[in-house]
Structure 1
Amino acid sequence: MTLNNVLDIYDDVKDDLKFLSMSVVRTKIMLSLNEGDCKLNDLKKGLDLDSSAIKHVLNDLEERNFVFKNGDVYSLSEKGIIICTKLAELIKTLSVVKKNEKFWLKHDITSIPPEFLLRLGELERSCLVESELTDILKTFENFKELLHKSEVIKGVSPIFKPEFIEEFKTLLENDVYVELILTNKIMSKTMRSIDAGTLIKLGKLFLQNKLKIWKIKEEEVNVAFTVTDTTLSLGLFSTNGEYDLSRDLVSDDPKAIQWGNDLFDYYKGKAELFKIGL
């Protein structure tokens, strides 16, 4: 749906938007009921509010069919469940952006497809790893550490660092399964940087199905990320076109790892398998 389409339907829903956003108590009650049905006393204890305030809000929510009452138990209606699911996702997304504002501001997010931006709340339990003047290699060292704790590594990279070649060579020698999606330019640089002996080893690993490398056009990808069996590490380009080596968003939360795996599969669907000849 385009922005114009959204503006066209805005007038139809603006009252509900105002109703839900103008009251903290309404939001908290709906989120509480989203966790399960509650009695008035349960809500009172959980929200630390007096019964009269909660009852007044519950009446408003009932009137708009967000909530219904069965005996002394309150529940979300089907309408309430749908709206609350989106409300919770919006809150988590706002938290992701606010908590790591330096990571998202002035960075290019155009290579994160809209369907993945809609799921950004899945990165809620993530932290920003940031290099400092006294430790300019902090981001890179943290990245190396997470690689060496992994058994499965999948990465998308439109950037080249010679140090990565030795790191991945060591990982492959230690039976770590690796899948990489590289742009044509990075693929060429990587192949030129590998000696004949290493190339033969990579070819054998390819035949043993322990290594897969995919090629993708430069214009298809402008984001760098690695997802392993334990961690997601996400990097972005600055809006000036340079890759920001000083900041990575990192998470070991299963939801973030799944987000990373799904994004990897998205890019793999646009890439071509590269065959290493012996």
Structure 2
Amino acid sequence: MENSYLNLVLFSEKRKNILLLLKEGPKSLEELRNSLNASPTSVQPQIKLLKGRDLLCGTRKKYELTLLGDIIAENMQNLVNTMETLEDKYDFWANHKLDGIPLYLLKRIGELKHSTFTKPLDESSMFSPHTEFVENISKSKFVKGISPFIHPLYPEMFLNFAERGIDISLIVTEPVLERMKTEFRPEMEKFLALENTRLFVYDKELLLSSAVTDGFLSLGLFYNSGAYDHANDIICFGPEARQWGEDLYAYYEGLSREVKEI
């Protein structure tokens, strides 16, 4: 196993980084050396080893991945992204329930690599909306939300957004729908009367909250104890994270029934 691909790639930080750099596109020896902050004499032996196993090809003026090298680099990049995502916010992921995230999206958790935490506007109130959520949602062209609870400000807020032309699609639980019917009926009747709004009900327990727009993804989870974490939402602005959020929404919409009127 001395010459296995596992040993060749994963047990050498320099060789791993060379493959990941070439995944971005062809590079010269000088470009690789500068990116790695290494001398040519320390980089060239690693390139020779990778060329010897047909993972890259070319000359010092331009190295690029072979098809086999591209396959390995792609899977390695996914692994690196996943590990960095989990390590960056280890306490958050370890202390929260992940049951609400379907397995195929958990396997893509590395797409949330570039994320930060967003805090409530009013940290003295556990139910206060989060700062970045409120600031960014008003700039969006569409909003797709999933929520196991209802904030008193949300019915009027989402109605205002919809009346301004923002496409709004929401997934809520049966208890939340009942609260909408009794406590926020006027707002919800106006909301559902608009052409750019949709409302769905998920009949089972929702173990997360989420909002995805054309600009960002916001994700909230429950603690392992069962209590919802109102203080910390993950927020991401990159295209991969937004697609992850849209896929999460599509998953739950497919398991929900649409509500046309209340």
2:233 corresponds, among 220, 236, 248, to 248
Choose 230-239 or 40-49, whichever is displaced more.
Answer: 40-49
Cα distance change, pair 46–252 in 1 and its aligned pair in 2 (3 A): closer
Q: How does 1:59-138 map to 2 (within 5 A)?
A: 59-69=48-58, 73-130=62-119, 135-137=123-125
Unaligned runs of 5+ in 2: none
Question: Is residue 179 from structure 1 mapped to residue 179 from structure 2 by the alignment?
Answer: no
Cα distance change, pair 172–20 in 1 and its aligned pair in 2 (3 A): same
Give yes or no for contact 1:213–1:274 (8 Å, CA) kept in 2.
yes
Cα distance change, pair 124–43 in 1 and its aligned pair in 2 (3 A): same
Q: 1:53: which partner in 2?
A: 42
Distance 1:60 1:167 in 2: 59
| Larger helix percent | 1
- CA-based RMSD of the aligned residues comes to 2.6
SS of residue paired to 1:179: strand
Distance 1:210 1:187 in 2: 19
CA shift for structure 1 position 263:
1.3
Give yes or no for contact 1:150–1:176 (8 Å, CA) kept in 2.
yes
Choose 231-240 or 112-121, whichever is displaced more.
Answer: 112-121
Q: How many correspondences in the alignment?
A: 260
Distance 2:148 2:189 in 1: 24
Cα distance change, pair 210–53 in 1 and its aligned pair in 2 (3 A): same
Render the CA deviation track for 1:120-179: whole Å, top value 9, x for unaligned: 2222222112459x9345972413333323331110111232232232233233333210
Give yes or no for contact 1:185–1:218 (8 Å, CA) kept in 2.
no
TM-score normalised to the size of structure 2?
Answer: 0.88
1:262 corresponds, among 227, 247, 255, to 247
SS of residue paired to 1:65: coil
Q: 2:31: which partner in 1?
A: 42
2:179 corresponds, among 186, 189, 204, to 189
Q: 1:5: which partner in 2?
A: none
Q: 2:214: which partner in 1?
A: 229
